[in-house]
Amino acid sequence: MDRILDQVTRPQAAITETVVDCLGRHYREVNQELRRLVDDGAHRLRLTHVAGQRYLGTNLQRPVQITIEGVPGNDLGAFMDGPRIRVLDDAQDGCGNTMNSGVLVIHGSAGDILGHSMRGGAIYVRDDVGYRVGIHMKEYGDTLPVIVIGGTAQHFLGEYMAGGVLIVLGRRLPPGAMHPSRYIGAGMHGGVIYMAGKVNETFLGKEVAVTALSDVDRETVEGHVAAYAQAMGMDLEPLLARPFVKIYPKTARPYGRLYAY
């Protein structure tokens, strides 16, 4: 958590920003230029007129900073290992697919399967997200993936989750409203989900349980939400004002009996 907070909050030296105009360009051409610039030592890039180009930032393995103006296409930041990508609008499906490290900040909403098989780093979304967010998230040793969602999520949140931390703040929900996501944590066998506001327990996958936060849980939530608030330029206190619940797997082998003879 300290490493993620440091990536978000550390002072940035004055570095020349290279502008890449994506207007009318095919995603392959844009990505080839990005890779060339990064290989040549670029530290800060700004992509303008982005309109659905896919795979932006995919497999980049250096701590380059990328600002995106417009709406990137699927698989933004897939397999990335170290970059800091900031999207000034919405994003489509598959953001952070199998990412290893780095920070992905989306100043809008994001689509389905955000953080699919994510293995490290942090993804912060200002507003709502789609279906199957955090599916197959995993952790190893001290490498911990984190997703913080400012709004709410659609169905199958944290499906088959094997590790990491997933936090849903519900900022856009009216007072007293329930999170709409059903089958939360279906097949979950590792990691933890924290949700602010009301959760209908009948919406949970049968493999998970729900409880109030312990002091350790509260410290975890506050640390990750502080990093989120810093990345988004928000006040921390309102983000922590609602009570949170913890959703966790009942067992590390939810289907063990199903396939055992």
Other beta carbons less than 10 A from residue 167's beta carbon: 22
Other beta carbons less than 10 A from residue 113's beta carbon: 24
Other beta carbons less than 10 A from residue 28's beta carbon: 11
Whether 104 is in a domain gets the answer: yes
Q: How confident is the model at residue 171, as a pLDDT?
A: 92
What is the number of domains present in the chain?
Answer: 1
At 131, the pLDDT band (50, 70, 90 cuts) reads: very high
Spatial distance between the Cα atoms of 189 and 192, rounded to a whole number of angstroms: 9
The SS3 of residue 27 is helix
* Tokens (6 digits) for 232: 């988004």
Amino acid at 178: M
- Domain of residue 91, residue span: 2-253
Whether 259 is in a domain gets the answer: no
Amino acid at 103: V
Q: Show Cβ contacts of residue 38 under 8 Å, excluding neighbours closer than 6 positions.
A: 45, 60, 62, 64
Whether 13 is in a domain gets the answer: yes
Q: Which 8-state DSSP code applies to residue 230?
A: H
For residue 130, give the CATH number of its domain. Answer: 2.160.20.60
Whether 261 is in a domain gets the answer: no
Whether 196 is in a domain gets the answer: yes
Choose the weakest-confidence range: 111-115, 144-148, 224-228, 255-259. Answer: 255-259
Whether 231 is in a domain gets the answer: yes
- Output the pTM of the full model: 0.91
Whether residue 145 has pLDDT greater than 80: yes
